[in-house]
Structure 1
């Protein structure tokens, strides 16, 4: 097991983000920017959508997984990787491990979507299901790492992973700039904060004036609560949410300070608002989007930000959803 000194503060620099962009470029798709006249009319502004559901492994998580795995030394590669994930990080890690010829073990909750569990196994990784009510995934991961020599790659609270996700914000800014536009604001789905913290840093290297918002499921909006309070807080986590990828109730130790420096505010959305965004993406954009991947779009459609006369960047972060659940979301009357 590789032991590193604990990092108490981290923020990716422009040079580190540039290096990460070059590092992952041979493996990751430069996903496009999409626009919708219908959406623009609805919000009375211009919305630039970046569909990372079209990314390899089906979500933005590939970027952080690649940036970490590509910097393992030979000894670390031999030991393999152990990760924990509700799905998308596991899919990304298993995909990257297969591409690079590295062993991987992914810890997944028993109730994770079947599509995600099956996808991780199909990529050749070992899946260890655990009971969230009785087991602690970090403890299991540490035990596996100690026994096998594997390197732990957490889903969000890791400098390499955050820097990988920063490439997304930089890429969005570059593409919008190349279209002759400047973003007034950008919205990113949020769970532990690895995506929005990194993406905000990447975006701000080119468009420092843009306001950045995190978007979480209601009752799992630990980032929004923490930003409002000015300190780390935990959301109520009452009930559940269809956003299975975003059920972390509190932000990460590394991600929160970055978000406090770069974000304007944290937003939350209801399951009904997420379902409406899923339906809109399917009907108007012809995209398959998972619930967690639709939260930023849901916030825009629900009027959580003032888009009138402004240019907004919106990330669609993933598309790994069970077919039967997706069909139910699409067919349900809004």
Structure 2
């Protein structure tokens, strides 16, 4: 299972390849939230999301024979792009199984990065079954988006950076809000914080009706979502928390937070207007929780991870038209 040693090893392999993303602060956002909010801008990471970290960690940990046989992954887009770029830079073939309703920009970008894309209907097909069918001879290495120890370790490097950056800014304690799908990033950050910044608590953030992790943390067992699709927060829509990630989150995380789609769109608009960064709705769930759910927070210091910026232009325009500053 992933641990701090694996996270530090992943950080060493990522050195010179991943960006150290900034911790941003806006007094305007602080005023809205009524507390200090810092935004960890992983939307500025390679491929537009933190997923590059996990993709690189997993691919770089393979041996030469495994890389020669190629890798396969399933993803709605951000993990797809992270694995595709990591594979391309390691001269490995990548096949990505993606839902047909994924944002067009994510599908196009994954192909542009050199991966073969196989589309499936997530309402009527199981992505694991599709991946198994594509990889019939079993030679390609499956890199799951969150239930993979090396992926979790790679995502955990975000937590190491947060711990260091918070220390440099004199932030001694607080809550780290994380947009959460299957829990790879949350689990990795929680493990890193436990070791490097124990006065910080990781908390999951999800859209309403797709809050399987929050419900799982509350019930103490893995819960599933009734719906499999139909949210603008596509980046963090998963059936349930992972078998590997859930025990970590259960042990180390606080209660889950649940936000509305409109709150995510509002956060997208505010991030652009006040920080000049572009976030996709699923990548804005943590900022939405920080801004609009202050009564559920326990600290005056909050770090929200802006996990991805791969938003379709039409959705970004919708956010600005609905919640942008009116002149």
Which residue of structure 1 lines up, in the alignment, with residue 101 of structure 2? Answer: 111
Number of the residue aligned with 1:332? 322
CA contact (8 A) 1:46 1:309 kept: no
Q: Deviations over 1:38-85 (max 9, x none)?
A: 112222322121000000010000111111000111110110011000
Cα distance between partner residues in 1 of 2:299 and 2:224: 35
Matched, 1:207 2:197: yes
Q: Is the 8 A contact 1:156 1:194 kept in 2?
A: yes
SS of the aligned residue for 2:25 comes to: coil
Unmatched tracts of structure 2, length 5 or more: none
**Corresponding residue for 1:19?**
9
Whole-angstrom CA distance in 2 between matches of 1:205 and 1:166: 11
**Are 1:85 and 2:83 counterparts?**
no
- Measured after TM superposition, the shift of residue 303 of structure 1 is 2.2
- Range moving further from structure 2, 138-147 or 261-270: 138-147
* Partner residue, 2:286: 296
Instruction: Map 1:136-285; keep pairs closer than 5 Å.
Output: 136-147=126-137, 149-237=139-227, 240-285=230-275
Shift of 1:142: 1.9
Distance across 1 between alignment mates of 2:218 and 2:57: 31
Q: Is contact 1:48–1:176 with CA below 8 Å preserved after alignment?
A: no
**What is the distance in 2 between the residues matched to 1:52 and 1:163?**
16
Aligned pairs, number = 324
Bigger drift between 153-162 and 243-252 goes to 243-252
CA distance in 1, matches of 2:229, 2:80: 24
Give 1:333 deviation, angstroms: 4.2
Q: Residues 16, 309 of structure 1: CA spacing in aligned structure 2 closer, same or farther, 3 A cutoff?
A: closer
Using the size of structure 2 for normalisation, the TM-score is: 0.95
Bigger Cα displacement from structure 2, 180-189 vs 288-297? 180-189
CA–CA separation in structure 1 for the residues paired with 2:113 and 2:148 = 23
Shift of 1:237: 2.6
Aligned equivalents of 1:133 and 1:303: distance in 2? 31
Taking a change above 3 Å as real, the CA distance of residues 71 and 273 of structure 1, as seen in their structure-2 partners, is: same
**In the aligned structure 2, how far is the partner of 1:288 from the partner of 1:270?**
19
What SS does structure 1 have at the residue aligned with 2:256?
Answer: strand
CA RMSD in angstroms, aligned pairs only:
1.6
